[in-house]
Amino acid sequence: MSRRPEFRLLTSDPATKARCGELLTSHGIVRTPVFLPVGSAAIVKTLTPEDVRGLGYDMILANTYHLYLRPGIDIIEKLGGLHRFMGWDGAILTDSGGYQIFSLSPLVKLSDEGILFRSHIDGSEHFISPELAIAYQERLGSDIAMALDQCPPIDAPREKVEEALERTYNWAKRCRVAHKRSDQALYAIVQGGLFAELRREAAETLISLDYDGYAIGGLSLGESKDMTYELVDISCSLLPWLKPRYLMGVGSPEDIVIAAGSGVDIFDSALPTRIARNGALFTNDGRIDITASRFKEIDRPVSDDCSCYTCRHFSAAYLNHLFKCRDLLAYRLATIHNLFFINQLVTGLRQAIMGGSYSQFRDTFIKRYHQTDEEARLENKREWLKKQKG
């Protein structure tokens, strides 16, 4: 039965702003806090939809920009919509693709009417307006659609961020009017760069439009973690308590645990799957590099306390061997492990919040989990952003 997704708040931790809820969609109930694996082009790389379901996920993210360019909105609609096209029977959130237009396109011409951009695939020229961004997502048939926004660079001066906020607000008004699909929720995106007062302004203006939910965008793009946490906390404190909050593009284990304490309900990031394909695996003690020579002869799982398919069947030595051989199975097994780890983490997080012990869960996890060196992390992020821009 088709229904407009609703958010139902179940409980909140008495000592913090952490909370648990449910997203009620036409494709099932999604418990929050929740992490969404990224399937930008209708593919969670190396995995089948059954794999993703088996790992405990009820909702994924797809990207309108990538699907518009390949295979095309017309084809997906003709073949029965995005769920049928990719064989996924769970819920789907589609990003509008605004961020990818700016980060991937070699040429962007911005106006109040919309965005003229060149495809990162073949250089062809395209135009997208707020109305088109909504129309494409309605035709895809996702459960949650995102308004088109302008995401300024993390180092943009204040006047440029203010211009982006004004345009984002005007586009949000147009998206709200354009959206007609009754079985699809629509979320707006709070931007504002690193300026807390601008994020307050953005939240207040977007709340006046009465969206179904609100996302926090434009973070984890090169700023320090402390800055990220501060701005997430400020943004959440301004957003409606009874509507879902979605932190876009944030997926490190420590970030999920800490941001949940500010009241974030939804997370997404390509990080767990992307680093898996490079041999970086999550454990309760932190990330490990399975390609390192020290794993060459280790005849035990990557993580002794992990019960994922990979750890139940294969040794660290075998995974090291697969990566050295550059065999495709390496990427699949590593991805299974990382997504299993994240789902187990979020499941434990929900249980802790429901039990009133979020603070203890957070402190225990952070004390044990060895975080990536901050300077190294920021440098890796800068390099990744450079590659994204070509």
- The dihedral built from the CA positions of residue 374, 238, 365 and 280, taken in this order, carries a sign that is negative
Give CA–CA dist 82/91, Å, rounded: 11
Give CA–CA dist 200/196, Å, rounded: 6
**Which of 13, 58, 95, 212 is the catalytic position?**
95
What are the Cα distances from residue 10, in Å, to 208, 325, 337, 379? 25, 48, 30, 40
Of 137, 134, 143, the closest CA to residue 30 belongs to 143
Give CA–CA dist 254/370, Å, rounded: 9
Give CA–CA dist 170/377, Å, rounded: 35
DSSP 370: B
Tell me the β-bridge partners of 110. 115
212 is catalytic: no
Q: Which amino acid is at 97?
A: G
Give CA–CA dist 352/359, Å, rounded: 8
Give CA–CA dist 42/251, Å, rounded: 19
**Which of 13, 58, 265, 268 is the catalytic position?**
268
Give the H or E element holding residue 19: strand 19-25
User: Taking each helix axis from N to C terminus, what angle separates 225-238 and 253-260, rounded to the nearest 10 degrees?
Assistant: 30
285 is catalytic: no
Joined tokens for residue 202? 């953005």
Helix residue spans in 208-305 (DSSP H): 225-238, 253-260, 271-276
Catalytic residues: 95, 268
